[in-house]
Amino acid sequence: MQKKDIDWGSLGFSYRHTDYSYFSNYKDGAWDEGTLTPDHTITLSECAGLLHYCQEVFEGLKAYTSKNGDIVCFRPDQNAERMYNSAQRLCMPPFPKERFIEAVEDVIRANAAWVPPYGSGATLYIRPYMFATGDVIGVKPALEYQFRILTTPVGPYYSGGVKPVKLKVSDYDRAAPHGTGNIKAGLNYAMSLYPSVQAHAEGYADNMYLDPQSRTYVEETGGANLLFVKEDGTLVVPQSATDSILPSVTRRSLVDVATKMLGMTVEQRPVKFSEIGDFVECGMCGTAAVISPVGEVDKDDEKIVYGMEETGPVMRKLRETLTGIQDGEIPDQFGWVHKVDCE
């Protein structure tokens, strides 16, 4: 297979269509068999439920080339499961989990020429999503849906090396207590755009959100979970009392890496904002960057500084270990790396 002629290392994070997308439609109570398509547009009714009552959920994962030359993706079963849960929360018919994994494999195979070579740092970003196509005018769940996967090649997250970032504690909330913060729905991002634009304009990489009920506990950022390290090396992972943290696949994988491979102690519990000044490292985690070190957190006039110079040793070790497993440089004792046969 001839790879596309692309300068992989200089790709950014923007959309560029590949050869195929995948879609399956839901109608009369059933999903159709699904198919690949070279058409990267969607024609919708002006009354589609997506456009009025925001029935949309999505996932994000990446396909890449591992050290031995295999095309792989990371824990697609976890994305299948999470999307199933997200769909149910918005009264959408969940896409069967086995079919989700097959569709991800099909679309990767069809776009194998777009999967960047090993060592380029680039990946083929896979975006499965689902939305209401059926007409609704009275408020209720639509009767018709589309499950779709688009793929787009993206460059290395850190082209100039990993650099700590600054976060700002937002005066806004990204989710409501017991709302939809724990599912991957586009509506959560609509909520966080305004504070996100503000934070960027003020020179911050992202917002740190506090729990929307008492505003005393740390939750997550707009699109990544948070991790902290105590002085004694314990990894501290915030839990939400109001169910408003997104269950990050990267975070759950890092917790397993920490306990089962690195012999670390992990505390998963509600974390008060007032205690994060006692921690020695902070990081954000998600599929895109795996871990981004956080060097400083600002709240009004208060500054909590972890260090803007370099990544702390624990975050570095966690990051190297997980990316090593993903790339096939460290044995995968968990069965997380999913090979896609692309003959």
Ligand X SMILES: *Cc1c(COP(=O)(O)O)cnc(C)c1O
Q: Which residues bind ligand X (CB under 6 A)?
A: 60, 184, 220, 223-225, 246, 248-251, 286-287
- Sign of torsion over alpha carbons 241, 243, 244, 250: positive
Across 172-201, b (16+ Cβ under 10 Å) vs e yields: ebbbeeebbbbbbbebbeebbeebbeebee
Residues belonging to the chain: 343
Q: Is 306 left (phi over 0), alpha (psi -120 to 50) or beta?
A: alpha
Of 168 and 184, nearer to ligand X (C-beta) is 184
Of 20 and 79, nearer to ligand X (C-beta) is 79
Q: CB of residue 83 vs ligand X: minimum separation in angstroms?
A: 11
Q: CB of residue 335 vs ligand X: minimum separation in angstroms?
A: 17
Of 80 and 224, nearer to ligand X (C-beta) is 224
Of 55 and 287, nearer to ligand X (C-beta) is 287
* Known active-site residue 272: no
Q: Catalytic residue among 62, 166, 168, 184, which?
A: 184
Q: CB of residue 248 vs ligand X: minimum separation in angstroms?
A: 3
What are residue 236's DSSP bridge partners? Answer: 228, 267
**Separation between Cα atoms, residue 213 and residue 216, nearest integer Å:** 8
What are residue 204's DSSP bridge partners? Answer: none
Q: CB of residue 45 vs ligand X: minimum separation in angstroms?
A: 28
Active site residues: 184
